[in-house]
Amino acid sequence: MKNILEVSGIEKKYPGVVANRDVSLLVREGTIHAIIGENGAGKSTLMKTLYGLIRPDAGEIKVFGEAVTLKSPQDAIALGIGMVHQHFKLADNATVLENVILGSEPSRFGFVIKYDEARKKLLEIAKTYQLDIDPDEQLANLGVGERQRVEIAKVLFRGAKILILDEPTAVLVPQEVTELFANLRELVKKGLTVLFISHKLDEVLSISDDITVMRQGTTVATLTPAGTSKKALAELMVGGELPKPIAGALVVSPESILSMKDVSYSRADGREILHSLNLDLHGGEILGLAGVEGNGQSELIELVMGLLKANSGSVEVLGLDALTTLTRDIRDAGVGYIPQDRQRDGLLMAAPLWENRILGHQFATPMAKGIWIDKHAAAEDSKRIVEEFDVRTPGVNVLSSALSGGNQQKFIVGRELSGDPKLIIAAQPTRGVDVGAQAIIWDHLMQARSRGAGILLISADLEELFSLSDRIAVIYSGSIVSVLDPAKTTPEDLGLAMTGATK
């Protein structure tokens, strides 16, 4: 098998930052080649270079054995390189076919679009690569997995031979991941080549033929799944041994700190979201909440935080009735809240870090003294978080929007664990976060548990649920359908329970 893509000595510098240096990569034709690395390891820079979005300062790229210069994505497409972005670039108000041909419409006289020809070509692609898509469906009706297939079809329509997928699984639920992988295998079987960027090691090991690890801007190793292990990969990524979460002895306190009884909640439009839901969490334990997104998790969290009011049933948080208590009083009673959408619910993006430290803690000491904000205390404690949680920032006066997602998350976790909360609502605490940051966050959550705090862990990451939870509750269509013991449950069983299958 020959190398379809050869990259050597790529270097890209920005003022003060080396994004890529001495990067080399050999991709064999007809393989799935994974590129893994922490956030900021230079994966995206390399992919943008290959797609012609960035011009490197030095180095050589060979496609099909010939040295090329990529000045723009058009050059890359002409050479058969296509990219499926992490955030889809599709128009909701158009059909699948229209989205696929947008920008490369086959036309007569340059302005009459040949829809029939386009449809024929798209159906042929769908058949060849076994992509399940309907050309005439409105995009607005499609789910995330289907949209991704449209993106892939779009790239294939342009004649791509090498597909670059930027963290394709970050947005998918487990079932969709399985489908995507089946599609990818079909693609390589037909002779295409796939470059797959990820930092989920399990997936990488299961799908790839080759794995290249990047760290601090350079490629450090290329391995095969058979010749490596998850632990070895993780250590290559972070460049040392991972801090291990120390699981202290499980000391569960007898009284529950969060208790939901027969809770029902309907939206203003009458749709019932939660239906006689029962949940019980004790101090000193981590209760995982598993479920496919959109089964009522968000509403459950908002009910606990006093942001929504249930129609019936009772929600008791640290002895307070969450239906009648203000959010600020629930927080002040000792509840830490890591929201799932950190940028919208957890941060003031246009405010400096020290102000973000105050957010959620502005009603009590040490962040406030009476009616006054204590800037000094906020700045000092922000520095502590930056240190303890390894937040990569030059200082606490930096706007939070300037930090990378992983560092924002570490800061939020640090903030929410401040003041030793008794109850912690952790929603997707490590989503989109690299392994190094994940280890730090897990470690601190475990420490909080050993201290006696109760943690409600809402996660779409099954590995996270299995690694941390003492019990796993499964939410399906607004109710808790089962509570499982992670030690006696397989991921398959859990996946089955999440889809509502009854035993």
Chain positions contacting other proteins, by CB under 8 A: 14-18, 21, 40, 216-217, 239, 305, 307, 326-332, 337, 339, 344-351, 355, 358-363, 368, 371-373, 392-394, 397-399, 401-404, 407
**Which of 414, 440, 435 is closest to 338 using CA atoms?**
414
Minimum distance, C-beta of residue 363 to other proteins, in the bound complex (Å): 6
111/372 with CB nearer other proteins: 372
Task: Count Cβ atoms within 10 A of the Cβ of residue 87 and give its class: 0-12 exposed, 13-18 middle, 19 or more buried.
Answer: exposed
In the sheet with 32-36, reading across from the earlier edge strand, the strands are 81-84, 162-166, 193-198, 32-36, 210-215, 218-223
User: Closer to other proteins at the Cβ: 28 or 383?
Assistant: 383
Choice between 97 and 234, CB closer to other proteins: 234
The nearer residue to other proteins, 172 or 359, going by C-beta atoms, is: 359
DSSP tag of 57: S
- Least separation in angstroms between CB 372 and other proteins: 6
312 phi, psi to nearest 5 deg? -155, 165
d(CA 135, CA 482): 40
Q: How far is the CB of 88 from other proteins (least distance, A)?
A: 23
CB of 385 to other proteins, least distance (A): 15
> How many Å separate Cα 220 from the centre of its chain?
24
The pair of three-digit structure tokens given for residue 265, joined into one six-digit string:
């909640």
Which two tokens mark 189? 């079987």
Report the alpha-carbon distance of residue 191 to residue 194 in Å, rounded: 10
Dihedral over Cα of 42, 45, 50, 51: its sign: positive
Burial of 141 (0-12, 13-18, 19+ CB in 10 A): exposed
Rank residues 162 and 386 by Cβ distance to other proteins and give the closer one: 386
DSSP strand pairing (107-108 vs 58-63): unpaired
Question: What span, in angstroms and rounded, lies between the C-alpha atoms of 132 and 424?
Answer: 41
CB of 36 to other proteins, least distance (A): 18
Decide whether 123 or 399 has the Cβ nearer to other proteins. Answer: 399
Nearer to other proteins, 6 or 434 (CB): 434
- Cβ at position 351, least distance to other proteins in Å: 6
Nearer Cβ to other proteins (131/310): 310
- Beginning with the edge strand found earlier in the chain, give each strand of the sheet holding 335-338 in spatial order: 335-338, 423-427, 454-458, 286-290, 471-476, 479-484
> CA-CA distance, 144 to 502, in Å (whole number)?
26
Closest approach, Cβ 328 to other proteins, in A, equals 3
Looking at beta carbons only, is 91 or 363 nearer to other proteins? 363
Pairing of strands 17-28, 3-14: antiparallel
CB of 334 to other proteins, least distance (A): 13
**Closest distance between other proteins and the C-beta of residue 379, in Å?**
13
